[in-house]
Amino acid sequence: MVIIRKLVLHIPLLFILPMFMTNKTLAVVLSAPVSDVLSVVVSVVCFLPGFYRKMKNPDHFDGEKTSLPAEN
């Protein structure tokens, strides 16, 4: 996610935001928090479909089962 935040979001925002704001210095300063917020949105969008899929069918997790053995 760091690559997405820095290369894909932050660097283009450094050039795009000053075009739309009158205070160019503020636009450059705001590019970092805006890229952080956008990277959180991208992370959530990527995470939620798999999470909901796993929660719909909890018996179908990948890997080893971690359930405790049944007591007699």
pLDDT at site 31: 92
The contacts of residue 64 (CB under 8 Å, 6+ apart) are: none
Task: Please return the burial class of 28, using the count of CB atoms within 10 Å of its CB with bins 0-12, 13-18 and 19+.
Answer: middle
Residues 1-49 have pLDDT tens digits of: 577 678 888 899 999 999 999 999 999 999 999 998 988 898 899 889 8
Q: Is the distance from CB of 17 to CB of 34 less than 8 angstroms?
A: yes
| b/e 36-70 (16+ beta carbons within 10 angstroms → b) | eebbeeeeeeeeeeeeeeeeeeeeeeeeeeeeeee
